[in-house]
Amino acid sequence: MEPFLLADFVRPQPGARVLEVGTGCGIIPLLLLTRQLDLSITAVEIQESLARQAESNLMENGKTDRVRLVHADFVNWSRQNADAVFDWVVSNPPYRKRNSGRVNPDREKAIARHELTLDLAGLVAAGARHLAPDGRMALCYPLERLDEVRRQMEREGLRPVELKRVAGHPESPARFFLILAQKTNAPVPLNETLFYIYEADGAYTSGMKSVYESFNYPGRSHRNRQK
C-alpha cells in the first residue's frame, strides 16, 4: 500500500530525472511510468535477490528503456557518481533504527525494515547532493520519526513543502507520513493534509480508491482481504 501512496505523492513533470533509493522489486518506477511515460529513472537496490526481481519485472513490463537498474550500496554508488543530477529523489526506506525493535531473522526482510545498510542521515545527505536546484525529495516514514526527518532534511538544505499524514481510518491515529521537500534556501509554505485509507466498515475511502484507479490497479475493498 505504501508504494502506491508514495508513487501517487510524487508528480514528476515530463522528462524529469528520477532517482529511487531502495527500489525493491521495482514497483515504484513501474507505477510512476504508468502515469508519465516520459521519465528517466535510476533505481538503486542493494540486495541482489531484489535487484534480480526488479530486473525481471521491468523486462516483463517493457520498461528497461526508461529505468536504469543499479545493484549497489547507495552511499557507495553516490560517491562514485557524484556528478549525477536528478529532479527527484524518492525512497520508501528502511524505517526502523538499527537498535530498535526485533530484527527479522530473514536477512532480506531485516535490511528492508531496519537501517542496517542505510540510515536516515545517509539517505538524506547523499540524496540531497544529487538534487538539481529546486529539485525535490519524497520519503515515507513512520509518524514517530517525523521530527527527525524534518530536521535532517533542513540540515541538508531541503525545505518541506508538503506533508501527508496517513491513518487507517478516522477513529485511528496516523501511523506513517509522506513528506515532500524542495532544495532551496528560500522560505516555503508547508501544506499539511490527513489521508484515511479505510472507512469504518473496512471499505477503501474514495481517496484510496482513486489512488488505485489512477494506476489501473483494482485493489481490494476490505481490510481483512488486504494482506
- Pairwise CA distance, residues 41 & 19, whole Å: 6
Rounded mean pLDDT, 45-55: 95
- For position 220, what pLDDT does the model report? 57
Cα-Cα-Cα-Cα torsion 146, 150, 152, 155, nearest 10 degrees, comes to -170
Task: Measure the CA angle with vertex 94, ends 92 and 97; round to 5°.
Answer: 140
* pLDDT tens-digit series, residues 159-217: 999 999 999 999 999 999 999 999 999 989 999 999 999 998 999 999 999 999 999 88
The pLDDT-based confidence of 118 (bands split at 50, 70, 90) is confident
Global pTM value: 0.88
Average pLDDT, the chain: 88
- For position 227, what pLDDT does the model report? 29
Say yes or no to pLDDT of 115 above 50. no
- For position 95, what pLDDT does the model report? 62
Query: Do the Cβ atoms of 98 and 115 come closer than 8 Å?
Result: yes
Say yes or no to pLDDT of 59 above 90. yes
- For position 60, what pLDDT does the model report? 96
- For position 204, what pLDDT does the model report? 95
- For position 117, what pLDDT does the model report? 60
Say yes or no to pLDDT of 13 above 80. yes
Structural domains of the chain in order of their starting residue, each with its CATH number: 2-225 (3.40.50.150)
* Cβ atoms < 10 Å from Cβ of 56: 12
